[in-house]
Amino acid sequence: MASWRLRASNANPSQTRRFNPRDPSPKWRGDSPAARFRGDNGTSPLNYDHIFDQAIQRLHAEGRYRVFIDILRNKGAYPDARCFAGHNGPKPITVWCSNDYLAMGQHPKVIAAMEEALNDVGAGSGGTRNIGGNTHYHIELEKELADLHGKEAALLFTSGYVSNDATLSTLAKLLPGCVIFSDEMNHASMIAGIRNSGCEKRIFRHNDVAHLEELLAAEDPNVPKLIAFESVYSMDADIAPIHDFCDLAEKYNALTYIDEVHAVGMYGARGGGITERDGAAHRIDVIEGTLGKAFGVMGGYIASDTRIIDCIRSYAPGFIFTTSLSPVLVAGVLAAVRHLKESSVEREAQQAAAAELKRQFREAGLPVMESATHIVPLMVGDPVRAKKISDILLAEYGAYVQPINFPTVPRGTERLRFTPGPAHTPEMMRELTSALVEIWDRLDLQLQKAA
Ligand code: PLP
């Protein structure tokens, strides 16, 4: 095989045999066309198979190769689910790491709305918003979201990721010479948007008001400026000083952009996020959110004034050139948003569950991170151990929590991130806590002295 590859790489391409998947000759078997035609025996920069293998090998070596767990949630019974990991059919598990924080993806009103929409208008939207895909559901949901945030208008995207990328890149391109001030812990989708805008950026230390001011003050007062940050940082579970950032925005004449992905539906009397809870929504120029976490379905959006929304609608490729969300999904989100505007029962139950889990972890001496939010992170500090704990929990205790590693969090801060929902009971938490204590002991990890 090796000698054949050398011949292939030295051969005149026009004389090289074409790859034929039906050719039974042994020299074709077990190798991809890329390696056959462009590689040699392993070291050539054109041996594409080798390059890809090395890339995956690096992840294994660092202990951060990602394994996706194969599950199905049980309709209406969340956090119960089935896991298809073994060979003996699905095994019942409890999910502890879902971002469907309020279990709205299982709510009877949401499911009924989706069934009704499916029966009424069929499965897909049939086009982009401009060409056939602007359904009445989309228009209704945008009105509902604008109202949620007290803004003039809103715009839907196919995900929160796309909404950040499309909006930030387009906004900054429309503002000549714009400089973006970005929190160092901002999500990958915001970083992608900032990078894709091609504009200048300044990174300020996480939630550091003084550092942001230093950077703003150093800038030409006449260049357009945009401050981009999140409200709830979902990995460290802390909250931005929103009013302080808005004060700076006013002082230095900058626009403000906030990602409320982990807060919409979760905070504020109507689920308008931290900006609603803290009375700051009117001070923010663009509020961005997801429809896939507390609202339980899928999609993303921004809410702003009509002028900005009209610009993004008209200029952002990530909005224009893609099929709009299925009306079935949009109908489900509409039901979730409307329900959570009226009901705080789910929010309160979720907050109580998070507080109880933090209390139990702390009492057991588990290294629960300081958290001002609904998220309960447990620090491990090592990718291999984090994965090991997660594997044991799943295999032996039927508890599913995904290990979080680099690049989602910095190296050396790998952790387990628990998101208890309204239906996780104190009894389930006791079982989880004692399982974790047993695993901590088994892996020779240190428990902290109970406070
Ligand atoms: N922004 C933040 C802070 C996130 O954590 C995420 C996803 O986890 C997103 C945006 C992307 O949202 P979506 O999952 O709807 O694409």
pLDDT (tens digit, 0 to 9) for every residue of the chain, 451 residues total? Answer: 233 232 333 334 344 444 444 444 444 444 555 544 455 566 677 899 999 999 999 999 988 899 899 999 999 898 999 999 877 789 999 999 999 999 999 999 999 999 999 999 999 999 999 999 999 999 999 999 999 999 999 999 999 999 999 999 999 999 999 999 999 999 999 999 999 999 999 999 999 999 999 999 999 999 999 999 999 999 888 999 999 999 999 999 999 999 999 999 999 999 999 999 999 999 999 999 999 999 999 999 999 999 999 999 999 999 999 999 999 999 999 999 999 999 999 999 999 999 999 999 999 999 999 989 999 999 999 999 999 999 999 999 999 999 999 989 999 999 999 999 999 999 999 999 999 999 999 999 999 875 5
- Which helix (H) or strand (E) element contains residue 2? helix 2-10
With tokens 């009105």, the residue in question is: 143
Rg over CA atoms, the chain: 25
Cite the active site residues: 293
Question: According to the model, what pLDDT value does residue 304 have?
Answer: 98
Pocket test for ligand 1, best of 260, 290, 297, 374 (most atoms within 8 A of CB): 290
417 lines ligand 1 (CB under 6 A): no
Rounded CA separation 355/375 (Å): 9
From residue 28, give the alpha-carbon distance in Å to each of 1, 4, 17, 31: 9, 10, 11, 6
Q: Whose CA is nearest to atom 12 of ligand 1?
A: 160
Question: What is the value of pTM for the model shown?
Answer: 0.90
Q: Whose CA is nearest to atom 15 of ligand 1?
A: 160
79 lines ligand 1 (CB under 6 A): no
Q: Are 79 and 421 in contact (CB under 8 A)?
A: yes
Pocket test for ligand 1, best of 187, 257, 260 (most atoms within 8 A of CB): 187
Could you tell me which residues come within 8 angstroms of residue 261 by beta carbon, excluding any fewer than 6 positions away?
160, 187, 230, 232, 234, 288, 289, 290, 293, 300
